[in-house]
Structure 1
Amino acid sequence: MTNDNTALRNKELAMRGFAEFTAGNIDALRTLLHDNFLEHSPGNPSGKDAFLEFIAQAPVAGATLELARVIADDEYVVMHYRMILPGETEPDQAVVDIWRMVDGKIVEHWDVMQPVPEPVQIPHGMF
């Protein structure tokens, strides 16, 4: 059962954090991440401090992120966006982040990424 107030609050928090992060303020995540943050993506560390240190050095920190949509349901917020790495000759990445939030803090994260195919391969678009 969806709690619209919780979903809306979590969506707003996630969108504000995304906007700050894309503007270069990685430290804005410090207020959003729970101390016992759990990361489910391979190679990414769990724990607030370890994750922040990791993400500050990751390619996403210097990328252009173009948000396409945000979906929120209860404690989950899903963000779908294009990641454009600076100076890369590789294709852009389509990214879906799934955040689980409790009491205004991100407690878990999953993501799925794939290269954006050539337009001829996806006539209806990726985003």
Structure 2
Amino acid sequence: MTNKELVKQFYQHVFINGEIDKIPEYVIEDYIQHNPKVKTGREAFINFFKNFLQLKPKFEIINLCSEGDMVYIFHKCTLADGSINKVCDIFRVENHKIVEHWDVIERGVEKIQSLNNNGIF
């Protein structure tokens, strides 16, 4: 399985299907987290994600690409309250497991008045 396929499966099982019990299949125990609102480690990610699922997020993958050990996934995340986030998650994969994560998040994009007609996704 390629790194890109691994991250795509991880997103399908965990983010889209909400299968939290599958996280250990994809993420190492001492997973390095760069999001300042989430502690490092797999258990911290699991706890964060359990709480995040209460917002009833819906994910739509816009683009997924990889280069070497890095996988980038650009997606739209719509919450139950109607707010929309534009997100790029970046994962480093080692030995068929996710070992490190960064993200870039633009929140509340449904309120943006664009100066062009290109759309934000």
Question: What does the per-residue CA deviation read over 1:82-105, in whole Å, with 9 as the maximum and x for residues that have no partner?
Answer: 00001x14x310000000000011
**Identity of aligned pairs, percent?**
26
Name 1:74's counterpart in structure 2: 68
CA RMSD, Structure 1 to Structure 2 (Å) = 1.9
Could you tell which deviates more after superposition, 21-30 or 38-47? 21-30
Matched, 1:112 2:85: no
Offset at residue 123 of structure 1 (A)? 1.6
Q: TM-score, normalised by structure 1?
A: 0.84
> Contact between 1:39 and 1:45, CA under 8 Å: does it hold in 2?
yes
CA 1:51/1:119 → structure 2, altered by over 3 Å: closer, same or farther? closer
Q: TM-score, normalised by structure 2?
A: 0.88
Structure 1: which 5+ runs fail to align?
Answer: 1-7
> Contact between 1:98 and 1:111, CA under 8 Å: does it hold in 2?
yes
Task: State the distance in 2 between where 1:92 and 1:117 align.
Answer: 6
1:13 counterpart letter in structure 2? L
Structure 1 segments of 4+ aligned residues over 2 angstroms from their partners: 59-62, 117-120
